[in-house]
């Protein structure tokens, strides 16, 4: 494997530190065999507050292609597994049973003014498929990466067949490794397995609504995951994730209008994003405390100050084409809007630019935004600079971010 063979995109200049350690870390990763052993994103993990998982699953099953598979019950959590198929990551939705339950993931929310309002609600991180769990964990520990021990994993009520990292100091996300060969089933060793009638009913209702709205065949799997971090942590957050994963640095763009940059990483294994979504990192170009001097916009840094560093949105692809005289993305958005789900702006972009995009309102259950993106023809990027500026501005104007001070 050669993780440095790929063309670079974008106009964002990185520091000499970043360029030096990008090369050194990826060369080391290849040499140690990690790139060969670490593969696709197998699952995305989300935690919600008590009594929110059923409504959130109904929301997800309307707005995404996911299906309810099973619930794993442990002492303090309900863990619901949603799946499309084995060619796309699972969604793991954990619900804390007791509102007074306290743990490390709640602590990551509580020091942030908006994040603390939903203390157990956050994106946790990714589970990545590996071919030799023991060897990967051993190598990563030798590189000074830290994991929860098995007793910690048991207390956290996370699957016992995972190797799970401590939360990142830069993104507050975790990375977990699951040993699985291609074609083998995904199994999560946790609690008692059951199909809950109330969850099944919410799922079936959402899927029937998708059919009735004629959008069930238009929404495709997850395309990319976008994390927001503090300005000073942009480069180290990217380098850290590349060290945990088998991704490479695709490139970065300055979004001058919003005083931020958008940075993209992708799998070196050249699988489609539907199988292993791209990971995007967004950060301010300047820290918050110079904004009053420079008079610059700061939606990204303001988000992080209010919610903490965390996943901001999960983007899903929409099938290229038209339905009833509308582009598919507009047909989907119109249908979902009729069900009371709001969006932050109108669909932006054009066929001439290569894609159209839109952000939903943040979910009341997870605080995550859903992005829809429809690409035309052979367009293989993730955005245009004009689109990103408009999306970032719209997200920054959302209640609780731009106009609220704590």
* pLDDT of the residue at 398: 65
* pLDDT of the residue at 404: 46
Query: b/e per residue, 124-154, with b = 16+ CB within 10 A?
Result: bbbbbbbeebeebbebbeeeeeebbeeeebe
Select from 294, 267, 293, 261 the least CA-distant residue to 279. 267
DSSP one-letter code for 377: T
Query: Domains in the chain, ordered, with CATH?
Result: 35-210 (3.10.180.10), 214-396 (3.10.180.10)
* pLDDT of the residue at 289: 93
Beta strand pairing status for 326-327 and 322-323? antiparallel
For residue 371, the number of C-alpha atoms closer than 13 Å in the C-beta half-sphere is: 26
Evaluate whether 402 touches 345 at the Cβ level (below 8 Å). Answer: no
User: Mind listing the pLDDT tens digit for each residue in 349-397?
Assistant: 888 888 999 999 999 999 999 999 999 987 777 667 677 777 777 777 6
* pLDDT of the residue at 406: 44
* Below-70 pLDDT ranges, the chain: 382-383, 385, 397-406
User: Mind listing the pLDDT tens digit for each residue in 298-343?
Assistant: 889 999 999 999 999 999 999 999 999 999 999 999 999 999 999 9
């Amino acid at each position: 494997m050669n993780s440095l063979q790929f063309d670079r995109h974008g106009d964002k200049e990185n520091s000499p530190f970043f360029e030096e350690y990008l090369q050194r870390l990826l060369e080391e990763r290849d040499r140690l065999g990690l790139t060969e052993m670490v593969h696709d994103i197998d699952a995305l993990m989300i935690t919600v507050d008590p009594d929110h998982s059923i409504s959130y699953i109904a929301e997800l099953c309307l707005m995404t292609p996911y299906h309810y598979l099973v619930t794993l019950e442990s002492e303090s959590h309900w863990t619901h597994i949603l799946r499309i198929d084995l060619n796309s990551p699972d969604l793991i939705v954990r619900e804390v049973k007791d509102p007074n339950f306290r743990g490390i993931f709640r602590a990551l929310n509580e020091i942030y003014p908006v994040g603390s309002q939903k203390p157990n609600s956050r994106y946790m991180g990714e589970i990545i498929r590996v071919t030799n769990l023991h060897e990967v964990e051993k190598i990563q520990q030798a590189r000074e990466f830290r994991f929860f021990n098995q007793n910690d994993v048991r207390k956290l009520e996370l699957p016992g067949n995972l190797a799970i990292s401590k939360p990142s100091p830069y993104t507050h996300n975790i990375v977990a490794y699951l040993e699985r060969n291609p074609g083998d089933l995904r199994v999560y060793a946790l609690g008692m397995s059951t199909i809950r009638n109330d969850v099944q009913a919410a799922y079936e209702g959402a899927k029937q609504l998708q059919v009735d709205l004629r959008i069930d065949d238009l929404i495709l799997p997850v395309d990319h995951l976008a994390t927001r971090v503090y300005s000073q942590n942009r480069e180290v957050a990217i380098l850290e994730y590349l060290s945990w994963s088998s991704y490479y640095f695709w490139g970065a763009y300055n979004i001058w209008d919003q005083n931020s940059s958008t940075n993209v990483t992708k799998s070196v294994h050249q699988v489609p994003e539907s199988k292993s979504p791209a990971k995007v990192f967004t950060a301010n170009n300047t820290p918050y405390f110079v904004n009053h001097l420079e008079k610059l916009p700061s939606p990204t840094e303001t988000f992080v100050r209010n919610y903490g560093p965390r996943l901001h949105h999960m983007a899903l692809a929409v099938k290229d084409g038209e339905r009833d005289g509308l582009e598919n993305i507009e047909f989907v958005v119109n249908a979902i809007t009729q069900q009371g789900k709001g969006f932050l702006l109108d669909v932006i972009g054009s066929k001439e630019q290569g894609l159209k995009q839109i952000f939903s309102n943040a979910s009341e259950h997870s605080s995550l935004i859903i992005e829809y993106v429809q690409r035309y023809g052979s367009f293989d990027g993730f955005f245009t600079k004009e689109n990103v500026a408009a999306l970032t501005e719209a997200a920054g104007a959302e209640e609780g971010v731009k106009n609220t001070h704590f």
